[in-house]
Amino acid sequence: MHPGKKRVRRTMMFLNAHRAGLVKDAYIYKPDSVIFDLEDAVAENQKDSARIQLYNTLKYMDYKGTEKLVRINGKESKHWREDVRASVAGGCDGIRIPKCEYRSDVLLVEEEVIKAEKEFKRPIGSTLLMAAIETPMGVINALELAQSSERIFGISIGAGDFMRTMHAKRTAEGYEMLAARSQLVLAARAADVMCFDTVHTDVNDFEGLRKDTELIKNMGFDGKSVVSPKQISVIHKVFSPSEKEIDMAEKVIYGVEEFAKEGVGVFIVDGQMIDIAMVEGARRVIDLAKASGVYGGEL
């Protein structure tokens, strides 16, 4: 498996790839991933210069470990093939494909990615993909999309277009997103890929953002797109494991190691039954704790 496929991605920050002032040092806000946007944020007559800016940013800016993704233009546009070339040439970590509805949408992009990897002598398979789902058809086909390629590390829901097509009304509780979010997280887990929630558009509503994030975290989502650096710390805080959770995760990991030596597969910690199946979840807690800067242990 690609080593970056399951990294921590609590926050994925959109950045207009065209704006030099934005992309020069956005890593300082410490999102887990940035998404350089060539699609909606960039005016139609600026697409080519945004691509040049993107290439140079990917090639020459040190993002200090922050994952660098690119949102390319949709397949209906005349830009997306060049977007893929520039992204791969610059060495992005992955590409976010907009408006995915069918497996073929992903495969179409993958084909171009392979060509570009060959052209620019990048290791074949090094560029990950992410399917952005923005329509009811996409939601229905979420599993198909999540399983469409070995390169897919996650699927995400984009609320804006989805709501318009659903005739839904925005509510504080997020009822309008229930159907899509549920379907998405199920598909992601079934396909063993990650699952990301849409942006919280009111950048000054931190309480709403916190509630929204708690909801999706409890549903099983791995993270959320953000449009402002101000949103990052709120989301990270929600995803930051508690001391109790970290403690339990350590007991699971150490416990399984210890008991395995003695040939024991199931044991009890703090009154809870533990087995090897829980190690993956425990590792995830430790990874999140490390990313949140709250882990002081040895794991």
Catalog residues that contact another protein under the rule CB under 8 A. Answer: 21, 24-25, 28-29, 62, 204, 228-230, 293
Nearest to 245 by CA among 221, 202, 278, 206: 278
8 A C-beta contact, residue 223 and residue 9: yes
Nearer to another protein, 91 or 229 (CB): 229
Give the nearest distance from C-beta 62 to another protein in angstroms.
7
8 A C-beta contact, residue 72 and residue 87: yes
Nearer to another protein, 79 or 224 (CB): 224
Strands, DSSP E only, in the chain? 11-16, 33-37, 67-71, 94-97, 128-133, 152-157, 194-197, 223-226, 266-269, 272-275
Give the nearest distance from C-beta 10 to another protein in angstroms.
17
Nearer to another protein, 3 or 21 (CB): 21
Nearer to another protein, 204 or 218 (CB): 204
Give the nearest distance from C-beta 204 to another protein in angstroms.
8
Beta bridge partner(s), residue 268: 273
Give the nearest distance from C-beta 209 to another protein in angstroms.
14
Give the nearest distance from C-beta 293 to another protein in angstroms.
6
Nearer to another protein, 153 or 239 (CB): 239
Nearest to 172 by CA among 144, 219, 210, 127: 210
Give the nearest distance from C-beta 59 to another protein in angstroms.
14
Give the nearest distance from C-beta 156 to another protein in angstroms.
23
Beta bridge partner(s), residue 129: 95, 152
Q: What does residue 129 show for φ and ψ, rounded to 5 degrees?
A: -130, 155
Nearer to another protein, 91 or 136 (CB): 91
Nearer to another protein, 27 or 254 (CB): 27
* Environment class of 113 (CB within 10 Å of its CB; exposed 0-12, middle 13-18, buried 19+): buried
Nearer to another protein, 28 or 266 (CB): 28
Q: How many CB atoms lie within 10 A of CB 266?
A: 11
Q: 69 in helix, strand or coil?
A: strand
8 A C-beta contact, residue 195 and residue 155: yes
Give the nearest distance from C-beta 24 to another protein in angstroms.
6
Q: For the chain, how big is the Rg over CA atoms in Å?
A: 20
